[in-house]
């Protein structure tokens, strides 16, 4: 099998997507990638990420690949859980406090390393792509922690929507709230909604 055939096999097995990281893992020189781009077999969508021209790739996946050290959170996560009907203008991502991000498409949030992976989960889209996002309970904790920075209508709607859901996990929510030192505030909001 030639290097070009190997790349095409990787692309086909990965839903029409190729990252330069995968090339490096397979010890394939990037000159072959350039040849496939020149031929029109692949197009570059962002640094280190290539797709077949007929592949309709979602922006969440592209941003997630560009910022692998981040996790989708806050309003963006609310959108994934249908806890807001507003499509986010900018994408919320959380990073460890030692990372700094500047991108007009992102609203970065920062936490210490100990709290960073609390509630981390993987969301898979219909096209087979995956992103890192916080679970629903972590997302509720995040918006309570940043309640002064979030639109009050989105905030109230998200809390009411969460409380109506059958798949909510109040025990997990309380556990996270303790870890983030917001248990008292959480209980106050939940009493108002009850």
Q: In what order do the strands lie in the sheet with 106-111?
A: 106-111, 91-96, 71-72, 130-134, 120-124
Mean pLDDT, rounded, of the chain: 91
User: pLDDT tens digits for 137-168?
Assistant: 999 999 999 999 998 999 999 999 999 999 99
User: pLDDT tens digits for 39-67?
Assistant: 888 888 888 888 888 877 788 988 898 89
- Residue 131 DSSP symbol: E
How far apart are the two ends of the chain, measured CA to CA in Å? 64
Domains and CATH numbers, the chain: 3-57 (1.10.10), 60-193 (no CATH)
Dihedral through CA 152, CA 98, CA 25, CA 119, nearest 10?
-40
User: pLDDT tens digits for 72-84?
Assistant: 999 999 999 999 9
115 pLDDT band, cuts 50/70/90, is: very high
| pLDDT for res 194 | 67
User: pLDDT tens digits for 16-40?
Assistant: 888 888 888 888 888 888 888 888 8
């Amino acid at each position: 099998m030639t290097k070009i055939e190997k790349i095409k096999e990787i692309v086909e097995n990965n839903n029409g997507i190729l990252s330069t990281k995968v090339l490096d893992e397979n010890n394939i020189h990037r000159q072959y990638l350039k040849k496939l781009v020149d031929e029109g077999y692949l197009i570059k969508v962002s640094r280190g990420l290539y797709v077949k021209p007929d592949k309709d790739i979602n922006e969440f996946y592209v941003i997630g690949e560009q910022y692998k050290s981040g996790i989708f959170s806050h309003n963006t996560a609310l959108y994934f859980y249908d806890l807001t009907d507003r499509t986010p203008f900018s994408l919320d991502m959380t990073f460890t406090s030692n990372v700094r991000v500047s991108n007009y498409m992102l609203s970065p949030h920062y936490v210490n390393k100990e709290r960073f992976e609390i509630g981390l989960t993987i969301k898979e889209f219909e096209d087979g792509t995956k992103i890192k996002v916080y679970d629903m309970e972590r997302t509720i904790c995040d918006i309570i922690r940043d309640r002064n920075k979030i639109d009050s209508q989105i905030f109230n709607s998200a809390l009411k929507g969460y409380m109506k859901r059958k798949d909510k996990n109040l025990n997990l929510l309380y556990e996270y709230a303790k870890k983030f030192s917001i248990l008292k505030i959480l209980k106050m909001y939940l009493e108002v909604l009850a």
